[in-house]
Chains A and B, each alone.
Chain A
Amino acid sequence: MIDYLWLIFRVLVFPGFTFILFLTMFCDWIERKIEARMQNRMGPSFTGPSGILQPLADFIKLLTKEEITPNESRKSIFRFAPFFAFSVLIFALCFLPIDGASVIPNVSFGGDLIFVMALISVANFLLFLSGWSSSNPYSSIGAARVLTQFLGYDIPLLMLALAPAFLAGSLTIATIVARQWIPFVVLAPWAFIFFIITMQAELEKDPFDIPHAESEVVAGYETEYSGGKLAFLKLARDVQIVFGASLVTVLFLGGTNGPAFFGLPELWSTLWFVLKVVAVIVISEYMTVLFARLRIDQIVRANWKFMLPLSVLSLLLTIGLAVWVYPMV
Chain B
Amino acid sequence: MTSNNLDILKALEAKNFQIQIGKLGTAAIQAPVGKHRDALKILLDLDEKTAVTAITGIDLGASVGVYYHVRTSNSFVTIQCEVPKDKPTLATITDLVPGAAFHELEVTDLLGVVFEGHPNPGRLVLPDTWPEGVYPLRKDVKINEVKLNTPSSEDVKLSDGSGLVKIVIGPHHPALLEPEKFAVLVDGETVKKVEPRIGYVHRGVEKASESKTYLQDVYLVERICGICNSCHATAFVEAVEKILKTDVPPRAKYIRTIILELNRLHSHLLTLGHAGLEIGYETLFQYFWRDREPIMDLTEMITGNRVISSSLTVGGVRRDIKEADIPKIKATLTELRKKIPFYKQMYENEPSIRMRMQKVGVLAREDALKLCVVGPVARGSGVDIDVRKDEPYEAYGEIPFKEVVYTAGDTWARMNVRMDEVEESINIIEYALDHLPSGAYRVKVPRVVPPGEAVNRVEAPRGELFYYVKSNGTAFPERVKVRTPTFANIPAFLKTAIGESIADVPPNFVSLDPCFSCTDR
Contact = CB atoms under 8 A, between A and B. Distances in A.
A292 B273 CA distance: 12
B258 interface: no
Interface in B278-298: 278-284, 286-287, 290
B352 A291 contact: yes
A290 B281 CA distance: 8
A198 B486 CA distance: 41
Q: Categorize the interface residue count of chain B.
A: 20 to 34
B174 A214 contact: yes
Contact of A213 (B166, B283, B287, B503): B503
Given A40-B287, A218-B174, A293 B189 contact: no
A207 B350 CA distance: 13
A216 B503 contact: yes
B173 interface: yes
B175 interface: yes
A216 B166 contact: no
Do most interface residues of chain B lie in helix, strand or loop, or is the interface mixed?
Answer: helix
A295 B278 contact: no
A35 B352 CA distance: 18
Contacts of B365: none
Q: Categorize the interface residue count of chain A.
A: 20 to 34
B167 interface: yes
B277 A293 contact: no
Contacts of B174: 214-215, 218
A295 B504 contact: yes
B392 interface: no
Contacts of A209: 280
A213 B277 CA distance: 10
B96 to A, nearest CB: 36
A35 B281 CA distance: 12
Contacts of B331: none
Contacts of A297: 189, 501
A137 interface: yes
B501 A292 contact: no
B355 A290 contact: no
A312 B278 CA distance: 35
Contacts of B171: none
Nearest to A138: B167
A294 B290 contact: no
A288 to B, nearest CB: 9
A214 B352 CA distance: 18
Contacts of B277: 215
B356 interface: yes
B502 A216 contact: yes
A31 B505 CA distance: 29
Contacts of B505: 216
B189 A296 contact: yes
Interface in A203-229: 206-207, 209-210, 213-216, 218
Contacts of B282: 35, 39, 289
Interface of A: 35, 38-41, 137-138, 141, 206-207, 209-210, 213-216, 218, 289-298
Given A141-B189, A213-B503, 5 more contacts: A137-B158, A215-B277, A290-B283, A292-B353, A295-B504
